[in-house]
């Protein structure tokens, strides 16, 4: 997947179906560093499953996802999902 897919993937993060949003998050992980800003947006999704997958995807990107550190740190104390907080703590 290339950076050319970013607009479509970012738009997919607005879909009403959480499964579509999760798939978009996974695809953004394939895009890599260029997808990090959209992954940061996904960290604010209303569904914990989407946020969890966004955290996991950011973790897989490693150093490429450095811009997401502040957002991940914020999840440690603010996210209402224990699973998301735990996943963020493991990054």
Q: What is the pLDDT of residues 13-58, one digit of tens each?
A: 999 999 999 999 999 999 999 999 999 999 999 999 999 999 999 9
What gap in Å lies between CA 9 and CA 22, rounded to an integer?
10
Using N-to-C axis directions, what is the helix angle for 48-61 and 69-78, rounded to 10°? 140
In angstroms, what is the C-alpha Rg of the chain? 12
What gap in Å lies between CA 65 and CA 81, rounded to an integer?
22
For residue 3, pLDDT over 90 is answered with no
Residue among 44, 20, 19 nearest 9 (CA): 20
Residue among 77, 15, 75, 17 nearest 51 (CA): 75
Q: Are 27 and 39 in contact (CB under 8 A)?
A: no
| pTM for the full predicted model | 0.94
Question: What pLDDT, on a 0 to 100 scale, did the predictor assign at position 39?
Answer: 98
Question: What pLDDT, on a 0 to 100 scale, did the predictor assign at position 27?
Answer: 97
């Amino acid at each position: 997947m290339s950076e050319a897919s970013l607009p479509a993937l970012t738009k997919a993060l607005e879909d009403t179906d959480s499964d579509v949003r999760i798939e978009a998050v996974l695809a953004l992980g394939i895009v890599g560093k260029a997808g990090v800003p959209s992954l940061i947006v996904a960290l604010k999704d209303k569904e914990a499953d989407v946020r969890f997958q966004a955290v996991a995807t950011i973790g897989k990107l490693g150093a490429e996802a450095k811009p997401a550190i502040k957002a991940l740190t914020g999840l440690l104390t603010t996210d209402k999902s224990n699973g998301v907080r735990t996943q963020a703590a493991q990054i």
